[in-house]
Structure 1
Amino acid sequence: MTTLYKSLQDKVVFITGGASGIGAAMVRAFVEQQAKVAFIDINENNAQALIQSLGSHAEKLWYRNTDVTKPELLQDAICDAYHHFNRLDVMVNNVANDNRHQVENISAYDWHKCMNVNLDPAFFASQAAFSKMKKRNAGSIINFSSINALIGQKQMTGYVTAKAGLMGMTKALAKDFGDHNIRVNAILPGWVATEKQLETWLTEDEERKWLDSMALKQRLLPEQVASLALFLASDDSAMITGQGINIDGGRT
């Protein structure tokens, strides 16, 4: 049974990368809590399919096709969603791309492109969200890091570096925003069995090895990660800020 957080009712949540995987699970989860959800993504087909599946909640949704590597477009989307719903309570910096690269083959372009997706948008989205949240003297910002920032991972130097950077950003922004009662926390998932992962990297052999390293021998599902996001967005976590919370079945 999903916990009902009464404090989330009618709150406005903005989610980056919300059309698939963990992002889509969070869109669904927040809508089920009677929150209003704005989300962005560049995958138009996935976004429209998600919206159609939530047809009865259409009035609670706002979507825009947005390239998060363009800070001005990202911040414009947050501003427009704010004006659409007349408030912003929760910012979820979820967007990411976990492409693999051999270290010796990483060009300057590859490196900066990785940061432009996995690190930079979280700052510019948080900056825009702060300008709105401080008007109400309240808010929750949730960054998506990864346990890979703690344990490392082969062929993912850029991704791991960006996810580690998100932990530093979480700590810094928690101090900067605390005077306005705006909390900043990070979620560090293990290997989540999204459709993309199952189609690409999470093969049967890799999953077996990963499960062997976990205390709980079960797949980690997007919906379980979304449940943690609900808690961090709700008033039940009112005194939690500047923290990174692992959800990995005991992998770390």
Structure 2
Amino acid sequence: MPQTQQYQYATYPSLAGRHAFVSGGASGIGAELVSQLAAQKAKVSFVDIDGERGEKLAADLRGSGAEVSYRTCDITDTAAYQQTLRDFADELGPIRILVNNAANDARTPFDQVTPDQWDRDINVNIKHHFFAAQTVVPMMRDAGGGSIINFGSITAHVRVPNLTGYIAAKAGIEGMTRAQATEYGKDEIRVNCIIPGWILTEKQLADHATPEALDKLLTQDQRLPHKLYSDDIARMVLWLGADDSRSCTGHLWVVDGGWW
């Protein structure tokens, strides 16, 4: 991503050889997470509904020597999703890092939301977090511990219209994170929640990042006057997945450029 100066970032030896799974990993933030975990020499598995992009990313990473596995899977089909997670574990070993990244922030005015759409918002934005964790916790427990990284959103803390279902789900993830940390902590399983700010993915740039919106973001909303990209989130995921954060659980980790 564009940078105004050169930075040097950390390497995490504890990630090498460890199985990390990412949902929604074919594009946007998810693709960056997959790529950076692979660069740390983790074994990486991921799912997405965009089979073409998922297959290409996996092939490109394998071509560079990474150990990466991809399946096309709809995370809202809970039974199929849980089976896919078990299949990945059979292939690459127990999942030790679970990154619940997949989401959909489609905008709809509140008075146009139907019951079916509300259910879709909940299913794609929070339900899969819980059932993925339910699937991997036993294998994490048997392996001696693990890290679950949930994804919230800055939209649950600022004023954004036409996202009621999405915001409700993202706010719920924060509470679920604390509940999971309580449930799983005795087995050395950490559960944390990342709150991304406005991350300028390809989708955001195409759909929402008008010059006026970006000017307001950088001059009024954020304290730091630079744009945020997927790699800013990936570096937090790497730290939370690695043993460096071994004593951190049940917390919200905000990466938003200081938006309040």
Q: Could you say whether these structures have the same fold, taking a TM-score greater than 0.5 normalized by the shorter chain as the test? A: yes
Shift of 1:57: 4.3
Per-residue displacement from partner, 1:64-94 (whole Å, max 9, x unpaired)? 0000001111111110000101221100000
Mapping for residues 232-243 of structure 1, pairs under 5 Å:
232-243=240-251
Q: For the Cα contact (< 8 Å) 1:15–1:38, is it kept in 2?
A: yes
Partner of 2:133: 126
> Hey, what's the Cα distance between the residues in 1 that align with 2:65 and 2:132?
24
SS state at 1:51 partner: helix
Q: For the Cα contact (< 8 Å) 1:89–1:140, is it kept in 2?
A: yes
Q: Which runs of 4+ in 1 moved over 3 A?
A: none
From 237, 245, 250, give the equivalent of 2:253: 245
- What is the total number of aligned residue pairs between the two structures? 252
Per-residue displacement from partner, 1:31-66 (whole Å, max 9, x unpaired)? 110000000000012112212332334651111000
> Hey, what's the Cα distance between the residues in 1 that align with 2:62 and 2:84?
22
Give the residue type in structure 1 aligned to 2:204: Q
> Hey, what's the Cα distance between the residues in 1 that align with 2:114 and 2:153?
23
TM-score (norm 1): 0.97
Partner of 1:155: 162
TM-score (norm 2): 0.94
Q: For the Cα contact (< 8 Å) 1:31–1:57, is it kept in 2?
A: no
Partner of 2:214: 207
> Hey, what's the Cα distance between the residues in 1 that align with 2:104 and 2:140?
27
> Hey, what's the Cα distance between the residues in 2 that align with 1:86 and 1:17?
20
> Hey, what's the Cα distance between the residues in 1 that align with 2:9 and 2:89?
28
Q: Which runs of 5+ in 2 are unaligned?
A: 1-7
- Percent identity reads 38
Partner of 2:56: 49
Give the residue type in structure 2 aligned to 1:186: C
Per-residue displacement from partner, 1:174-219 (whole Å, max 9, x unpaired)? 0000010000000000000000110111222111111121111111
Distance 1:202 1:226, change over 3 A: same
> Hey, what's the Cα distance between the residues in 2 that align with 1:26 and 1:88?
15
Partner of 2:235: 227
1:104 partnered with 2:126? no
Partner of 2:191: 184
Q: Which runs of 5+ in 1 are unaligned?
A: none
